Copies of this chain bind each other. A is one copy, B any other.
Amino acid sequence: MNSNPRLNAILIKIKKMGYSLTPQRLEIIKIISESKSHPSATDVYNKVKELYPMVSLNTIYKNLSMLASLHEVKEIKTMQDSVRYDGDISLHGHAICEKCGKIIDVEIDEFDFKGFFETKIKNKLDENYRIRNYGVEFYGLCGGCGKEDSPSKT
């Protein structure tokens, strides 16, 4: 085994679901389970290429989609560009910089959120509405990007 619990969890799920573990797949899982930067498919592609220069982007998409369908990665749709992937599936939200695209994790109190969900949302929806996933995003400008963009104050 190894010391990354997310990696282990995903490998166990992969095996349980009967998917085979190819070198490319393992590398993709390693990258996504270790990264904190919420990479795009292309980002993952470029990393995998370092080890497997012949890998195709299609393989990246296929594997990331598969992992998303297994709920082992989360897809983050940003406003400006492509889908970003998150190997951290614990309860949290994201602060997304609209200029540089940086995505920062935002802690969400589980009790607050669950309470919010149970009381405020669940009873508003059709009783057989099934929630499977959530997203909490804050869009804005990160520290580095939000310096000099105030509308000319002369």
Binding site for B on A (CB under 8 A): 75, 77-79, 93, 95, 98, 104, 106-109, 112, 116-117, 120-121, 124-143, 146-147
The answer to whether A120 touches B109 (Cβ under 8 A) is yes
Q: Could you say which residues of chain B place their CB within 8 Å of the CB of A106? A: 120-121, 124-125
Q: Could you say which residues of chain B place their CB within 8 Å of the CB of A134? A: 136-139
User: Which chain B residue lies CB-closest to A108?
Assistant: B120
Distance, CA A79 to CA B68, complexed state (A): 11
Q: Could you say which residues of chain B place their CB within 8 Å of the CB of A117? A: 138
Q: Could you say which residues of chain B place their CB within 8 Å of the CB of A130? A: 140-141, 146
The answer to whether A121 touches B138 (Cβ under 8 A) is yes
The answer to whether A137 touches B135 (Cβ under 8 A) is yes
